[in-house]
């Protein structure tokens, strides 16, 4: 772990500008990296990079290993000769400032044109690179690609509704489907290669400017995923492939019924008997893409909330012990020291604290939780260890402007007293964050722009209106970047 004092900005690629309904890995992302570097930032934090679910959540990806093919930049495909400029010019435009999910079909159509061009015109070096990628990723790519081809062939229903042989992943049925859907399978494999190639180019550009990439791994996987379909033995499922228990969190001050996430739960006994092989490959593949990784819902490795599959709410759940330090010992034995940040928020019990101390991973501190008047509040800067990552709020919290508009007056007053003024408090919160002892301080992009909750990324426990905000062209202007750089320098975090 690099404990150098530094700072960064949280913004998923889909949040960046772009004509085709969402940000991607193309020119706007490269420009954003340049803006971060110019503002003295050393870290770009992103959300999980896998293919999101139908409502856009990257925390319910269709694969724990694949990339989101809709992040592939059509502009970069033009530069590579896989699309004509006319193809891009003919594509419809979509509104700026919002992620338009209906643009996905337009992007897929362009990717199909790129596939046809690759098949017709790719040279020996490109074909060899693609084949090398397929060989290197043979542990997950064939199942993922077939899973995506089957979803399209069956109109994208859950795999539980497929014919019995495919539903149960029987070798003969899988082999037959692979033959029948060969073209669709290879098309998805090519999309994954294009994603990997563009992401590696973007990450290399970030590194060239001194910016590290901070990624994210959800603890659980989606029920409708290639992982659960291809490896049912790793999860608590019945003979029909239905989950017997699912994930969530218990009732708390934010939700009187708790949260019923519905993800299948890992059968940790099976994982232990395999030496945690699936997890080792998952983390290995993630660290091929990023320099530092946040593990979401870290407390679930100490103990997790198990809900009966038929329960209406999370109230009916119970705490069950997780794998504890054995998992992380196996990961370190296979991969070496882990550049991991633990998302240690929520109900933190002594077993979670003990696991965090044993692994040595830094945790997270959220300043929106700090100003309740308790001098012992662990989110106050004076109570922070340097071995943590500080945020005003994360993608799951209000923006700071939204928090200021709704927080109790006494909490706003405490923040104002701390920064010595009662206005400009969005930047006041940024001052507290970057001035904290945390080795890494991260500001959500919306806070740099001083946006209210209309720009909020996600409201946990809800399905509507999330994962939609994105940056408008020119919105991240030189004055804001200069102010961010000045604050970064004043708090001793300026990238060398």
Residues annotated as part of the active site: 296, 343, 396
- The first and second tokens of residue 364, run together, are 């997270």
- DSSP secondary structure, 333-355, as one string: HHH-S--EEE---SS--HHHHHH
DSSP string, 358-395: HHT--EEEEGGGS-SS-TT-TTSGGG--SSEEEES--T
DSSP string, 409-473: HHHHHHHHHHHT-SS-HHHHHHHHHHHSS-SEEEEEHHHHTT--GGG----TT--SS-S-B-PPT
Strands (E) located in 108-235? 212-217
Check: CB of residue 459 under 8 Å from CB of residue 399. no
- Give the Å distances, CA to CA, from 158 to 153, 184, 222, 443, 468: 12, 18, 11, 37, 24
219 phi/psi in degrees, rounded to 5: -65, -40
Q: Which residues contact 341 (CB under 8 A, 6 or more apart)?
A: 214, 292, 293, 294, 295, 361, 362, 363, 364, 389, 440
Measured CA to CA, the distance from residue 194 to residue 115 in angstroms comes to 10
Q: At what angle do helices 141-153 and 182-208 cross, to 10 degrees?
A: 120
User: Dihedral (C-alpha) 371, 375, 377, 382: value to the nearest 10 degrees?
Assistant: 90
CB–CB of 302/320 below 8 Å? no
Cβ atoms of 228 and 222 within 8 Å: the answer is yes
Tell me which residue of 387, 283, 394, 264 sits closest to 330, measured CA to CA. Answer: 283
What is the spatial distance between Cα 104 and Cα 148, in angstroms, rounded to a whole number? 15
H helix or E strand, kind and range, residue 136: helix 124-136
Burial 198-226 (b: 16+ CB within 10 A, else e): bbebbbeebeebebbbbbbbbbbbbbbbb
């Amino acid at each position: 772990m690099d404990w150098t004092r530094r700072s960064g900005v949280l913004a998923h690629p889909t949040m960046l500008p772009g004509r085709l309904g969402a940000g991607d890995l193309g020119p706007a992302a490269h420009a954003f990296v340049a803006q971060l570097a110019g503002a003295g930032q050393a870290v770009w934090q992103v959300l999980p990079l896998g293919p999101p679910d139908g409502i856009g959540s990257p925390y319910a990806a269709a694969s724990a290993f694949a990339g989101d093919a809709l992040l592939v930049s059509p502009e970069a495909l033009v530069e590579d000769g896989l699309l004509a400029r006319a193809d891009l010019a003919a594509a419809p435009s979509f509104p700026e400032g919002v992620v338009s999910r209906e643009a996905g079909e337009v992007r897929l159509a362009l990717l199909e044109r790129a596939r046809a061009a690759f098949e017709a015109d790719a040279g020996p070096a490109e074909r060899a690179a693609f084949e090398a990628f397929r060989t290197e990723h043979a542990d997950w790519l064939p199942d993922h690609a077939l899973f995506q081809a089957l979803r399209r062939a069956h109109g994208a229903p859950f795999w539980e509704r497929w014919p019995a042989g495919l539903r149960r992943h029987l070798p003969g049925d899988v082999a037959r489907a692979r033959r029948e859907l060969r073209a669709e399978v290879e098309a998805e494999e090519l999309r994954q290669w294009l994603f990997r190639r563009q992401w590696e180019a973007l990450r290399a550009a970030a590194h060239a400017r001194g910016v590290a990439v901070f990624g994210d791994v959800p603890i659980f996987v989606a029920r409708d995923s290639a992982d659960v379909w291809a490896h049912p033995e790793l999860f608590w499922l019945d003979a029909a492939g239905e989950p017997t228990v699912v994930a969530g969190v218990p009732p708390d001050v934010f939700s009187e019924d708790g949260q019923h996430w519905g993800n299948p739960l890992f059968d940790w006994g099976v994982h232990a008997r395999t030496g945690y092989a699936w997890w080792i490959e998952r983390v290995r593949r993630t660290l091929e893409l990023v320099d530092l990784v946040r593990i979401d819902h870290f407390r679930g490795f100490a103990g997790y909330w198990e809900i009966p599959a038929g329960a209406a709410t999370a109230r009916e759940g119970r705490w069950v012990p997780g794998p504890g330090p054995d998992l992380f010992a196996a990961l370190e034995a296979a991969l070496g020291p882990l550049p991991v940040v633990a998302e240690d928020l929520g109900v933190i019990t002594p077993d979670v604290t003990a696991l965090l101390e044993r692994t040595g991973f830094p945790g997270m501190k959220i300043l929106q939780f700090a100003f309740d008047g308790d001098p012992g509040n662990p989110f106050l800067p004076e109570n922070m260890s340097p071995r943590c990552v500080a945020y005003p709020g994360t993608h799951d919290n209000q923006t700071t402007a939204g928090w200021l508009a709704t927080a109790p007056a006494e909490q706003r007053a405490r923040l104002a007293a701390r920064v010595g003024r009662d206005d400009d408090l969005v930047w006041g919160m940024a001052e507290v964050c970057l001035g904290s002892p945390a080795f890494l301080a991260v500001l959500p992009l919306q806070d740099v722009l001083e946006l209210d909750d209309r720009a909020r990324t996600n409201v946990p426990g809800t399905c509507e209106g999330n994962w939609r905000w994105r940056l408008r062209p020119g919105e991240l202007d030189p004055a804001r970047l200069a102010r961010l750089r000045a604050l970064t320098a004043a708090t001793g975090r300026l990238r060398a």
